[in-house]
């Protein structure tokens, strides 16, 4: 049995992680951390200031984090001090905050992913061969999420752009407005926010009177929760270091 803590337990993803864990027989969420001390979840909830106490009391095998960068950084420092592995699903992390996470990974196993969907891993792994086979084709990326998502473009979209950069030199164009004909060596990045859409990502390659589209749509947040839990179970057995979800899929 893998014992977990969940940071941001009152949030959409935090609650989904607890619900998904309840459906499994190999994990147990022992506690949550949240600014909302009255969170409607069936686990003890600690405030961020009490993180150290929670880690000491329950000594979890790993903590899963879906919050905001400031909270993630503080948690990473606490986990490093307590020797607790950390799974990070928070996006919008800047370079300075990323450095703190990387420093924490020298003390404990730390896995950071912009997306915990196995389908997105499939998209990323299909993208390279497609780009190589369709050299010179125009490339456009579009992502759509719910209207409460804070960062844009999504962390997953940025990961897709990073994968494209392994095969193309390009300039990212964030949407288009006015007179702006498409130039060579650019990739358009379109962001949409609407309703309660869980997550949609699409890469279009077009030229030579043909269009290839590689897309992924998450139907439920449980997809990401299940992946994060898989990551936590795997990470609990690893040595200190920096990991990503691809390592879990390959295991």
User: Would residue 158 show up in a list of annotated catalytic residues for this protein?
Assistant: no
> What are the structure tokens assigned to 166, written together?
């392994």
Name the phi and psi angles at 27, rounded to 5.
Answer: -135, 155
CA dist 111 to 41, 104, 147, 164, Å?
Answer: 25, 11, 27, 22
Instruction: Cite the DSSP H helix spans in the chain.
Output: 12-22, 51-58, 69-82, 95-104, 118-133, 155-165, 222-235, 245-250
Distance CA 165, CA 96 (A): 22
Among 112, 146, 149, 158, which one carries the catalytic annotation? 149
> What are the structure tokens assigned to 23, written together?
């459906």
Beta-bridged to residue 134, according to DSSP, are none
User: Would residue 146 show up in a list of annotated catalytic residues for this protein?
Assistant: no
> What are the structure tokens assigned to 146, written together?
């719910």
Among 145, 158, 201, 216, which one carries the catalytic annotation? 145
Q: What are the residue numbers of the active site? A: 145, 149
């Amino acid at each position: 049995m893998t014992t977990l803590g969940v940071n941001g337990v009152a949030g959409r993803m935090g609650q989904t992680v607890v619900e998904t864990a309840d459906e499994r027989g190999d994990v147990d969420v022992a506690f949550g951390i949240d600014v909302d001390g009255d969170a409607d979840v069936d686990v003890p909830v600690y405030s961020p200031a009490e993180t150290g106490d929670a880690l000491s009391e329950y000594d979890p095998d790993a903590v899963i984090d879906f919050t905001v960068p400031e909270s993630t950084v503080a948690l990473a420092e606490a986990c490093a001090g307590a020797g607790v592995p950390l799974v990070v699903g928070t996006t919008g992390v800047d370079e300075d905050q990323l450095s703190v996470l990387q420093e924490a990974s020298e003390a404990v196993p730390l896995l950071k992913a912009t997306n915990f969907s196995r389908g997105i891993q499939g998209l990323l792994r299909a993208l390279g061969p497609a780009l190589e086979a369709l050299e010179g084709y125009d490339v456009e990326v579009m992502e759509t999420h719910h209207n409460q998502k804070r960062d844009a473009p999504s962390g997953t979209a940025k990961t897709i752009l990073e994968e494209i950069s392994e095969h193309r030199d390009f300039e990212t164009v964030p949407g288009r407005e006015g007179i702006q004909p498409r130039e060579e060596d650019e990739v358009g990045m379109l962001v949409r926010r609407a309703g309660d859409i869980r997550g949609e990502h699409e890469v279009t390659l077009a030229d030579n009177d043909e269009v290839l589209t590689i897309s992924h749509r998450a139907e439920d947040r449980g997809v990401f929760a299940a992946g994060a839990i898989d990551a936590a179970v795997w990470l609990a057995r690893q040595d200190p270091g920096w990991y990503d979800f691809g390592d879990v899929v390959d295991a």
